[in-house]
Amino acid sequence: MNLINRLVYDVRDIYSIRELVESSAELYPDNPAFARRIGRDIEYISFSEAFSDIKALATYLNSLGLENSKIAVIGKNSYEWSVTYLAVCSGCGVIVPFDKELKNAEIEYLAKDSGISAIVYSDDVASKLTGLPERIIGVPMSSFAEALNRGRELMEDGDDSYSRHVVNPNGLGVLIYTSGTTGLAKGVMLSQRNICFDIMSVLRRVRVYEDDVTISLLPLHHTYQAMAGFLAFFYSGACIAFNESLRHLQDDMLLFRPTIFIAVPLLLESFLNGVKKKYSKVFGGKALYNTQMTLSGIFRKRSPGVSKAIFSSVNKAFGGRMRAILCGAAAISPEIFKEYESFGFRVYVGYGLTETSPVCIMHDDFYNSPYDTGYPILGLKVKLEDVNEDGIGELCVKGANVMLGYYNNPEQTAAVLKDGWFYTGDLARMNKNGSYTITGRLKSMIVARTGKKIFPEELEYYLEQSSFVKESLVYGLETDDDVQVAACIFPDYDEIDRELGKNKPDDGSKEYYEAVKSLITGVVHEVNRKVPHFKCIQKITIRKTEFEKTTTRKIKRKSEVNYKEE
């Protein structure tokens, strides 16, 4: 690694979320910590105001007999959700974030498995909690003001449970479930030290300024958003603005004018498609877009300001102040990466898992590239196991951000934690410059009977280069003779309709389906020409609806490989 990749920023040491909260409240008392929409206006909540609410809520929860217990939080991203998380971690017990998209039975299962004593919830999920045992105390976010007032009254009357509470930075602090499905759910046990180490390591390489603003869009129960778009901003004295829904995102961009955006690839693809559609509606728009891309490409590395000026209309749509986009949770294509950089934004790609708090490998202020995932965070050891002839092996990591283990599951813990090394189950390659590229998932890798290995992600990347393919999933299909490479494809029907033009058959007709199948088959044939014979796609399934996804917009592979054509 060259000298530039050893440069770091100074950060203050923290070992617990309580230290994070208290030090930020002391350093940035009057800075806006949170922002939310009130009609057409913005309500700002300062760090000192947020700290007061955190102490009051922790005191209230403790008064219910909940000190040192597990407390779940469920609901959409909000100030109430954020204060609950910080209050429980700082002055109460163990926080257990639940995915608000879980079904009733899944919530009941996780509540039982985790052993929570209480759940703080928003009104929109209240109907999902009716089956919980009576012993679990429900705290509705709609009564937040009353809870805070009661907490303050208790403190005025001498309740010092918050100040007396002792946080063990190395014990269980956050319990996060990687899935809600009964029998598949794994409770990842993270300590507050795990999370704080990750925050400090990331911020040693990526500067977040006091006047930075981000929009909280991705679900906060997910470790990526919780660390990158919540705790790291609170640590830095920056502001977190809440998006009510995706429908209002464009308006919120213009209202809050964010400087950093935390995203997943599918969201960035959607935005980019929206930009291109606006250009296509203008006479000569496509040619203009391509010309601007060429001009911006000349300047983007040396002078992002010029790129911003070239794409001034795009920058205005993002609020006019955007400087950086952090993209994680899945792989982003190099083409999309480069297009966003051409708008004048610096794009950072990161890799991690819930089990690693989450970031392991990332781009930073000193290095980024559309063709890799960057370097390991500071203080993290990395190795590749069972490396093949292409230099690809299982990524293993060792460091203070690695989980304590899986809750009540010593067998699964022992399977992935060996001598302090966490075996990620992901495949990676180390590049000549020392950076890493994540190449796929070990469990999704297809192994032919000849021993040849096929990485579905490679074929999915090639498929999705076609404008006719919106989403794809490649998997192995067992046959009597071998393992077939199969692809399930959700076409971009709008693009296909444009291609068919006036000759387009009626929607839903057999002729229409055959036309779609013909175009998709052509795409697959082009992909097969690019890869060795053993990697060729042999079976195609065409979807009429998009894939089922997680809350971070990743396709649920296990539920999709058995999709039957309608």
| pLDDT, tens only, 340-383 | 999 999 999 999 999 999 999 999 999 999 999 999 999 999 99
Statement to judge: residues 294 and 406 lie in one domain:
yes
Q: Which stretch of 4-13, 336-345, 382-391, 505-514 has the lowest confidence by average pLDDT?
A: 4-13
Please check whether residue 206 lies inside any domain of the structure. yes
How much is the pLDDT for 531?
Answer: 79
Query: Which residues contact residue 432 at a Cβ distance below 8 angstroms, ignoring those fewer than 6 apart?
Result: none
Range of the domain at 105: 3-258
Q: What is the pLDDT of residue 6?
A: 64
Asked if 271 and 246 sit in the same domain, the reply is no
Does residue 556 share a domain with residue 423?
no
* E strand or H helix that includes residue 360: strand 359-362
3-state helix/strand/coil string of 482-494: CEEEEEEEEECHH
Residue 110 and residue 195 in one domain: yes
Q: What angle do CA 112, 114, 118 make, to 5 degrees?
A: 80
Residues 195 and 277 in one domain: no
Q: Return the CATH number at 89.
A: 3.40.50.12780
Whether residue 566 lies inside any domain: the answer is no
Do 364 and 421 belong together in one domain?
Answer: yes
Tell me: do 285 and 359 sit in the same domain: yes
In-domain check, residue 11: yes
Answer yes or no: do 234 and 211 share one domain. Answer: yes
Would you place residue 552 in the very low, low, confident or very high pLDDT band (cuts 50, 70, 90)? low
CA distance 341 to 325: 9
What is the rounded distance in angstroms from the CA atom of residue 354 to the CA atom of residue 550? 14
CA 418 vs CA 197, 283, 398, 411, 414: distances in Å: 21, 61, 10, 12, 7
Residue with more model confidence, 448 or 249: 249
Q: Per-residue pLDDT tens for 287-334?
A: 999 999 999 988 777 777 899 999 999 999 999 999 999 998 877 889
Q: What is the DSSP string of 443-487?
A: GG-EE-TTS-EE-HHHHHHHHTTSTTEEEEEEEEEE-SSSEEEEE
Same domain, 201 and 64: yes
498 inside domain: yes
**Of 395, 410, 442, which one is at a domain's C-terminal end?**
442
In a domain, 464, yes or no: yes
Shared domain for 156 and 72, answered yes or no, is: yes
Q: What tokens were used for 421? A: 């090394």
Q: In 3-state terms, what secondary structure has residue 281?
A: coil
Contact status, residue 493 vs residue 519, Cβ threshold 8 Å: no
Nearest to 365 by CA among 380, 351, 348: 348
Banded pLDDT at 259 (limits 50, 70, 90)? very high
Residue 378 lies in a domain: yes
The pLDDT of residue 1 is 44
Query: What is the number of structural domains in the chain?
Result: 3
Nearest-angstrom CA–CA distance, 388 and 385: 9
pLDDT single digits (tens) 101-143: 888 988 999 999 999 999 999 999 999 999 899 999 999 999 9
Q: Do the domain assignments include residue 132?
A: yes
d(CA 324, CA 337): 12
Angle at alpha carbon of residue 197, lines to 350 and 434, rounded to 5°: 45
Identify whether residues 219 and 286 lie together within a single domain: no
Q: Which of 218, 243, 258 is the last residue of a domain?
A: 258
Same domain, 206 and 270: no
Q: What is the pTM of this model?
A: 0.84
- pLDDT tens per residue, range 10-51: 999 999 999 999 999 999 999 999 999 998 899 999 999 999
Kindly state whether residue 565 falls inside one of the protein's structural domains.
Answer: no
Burial 162-190 (b: 16+ CB within 10 A, else e): beebebebeebbbbbbbbbbeeebbbbbb
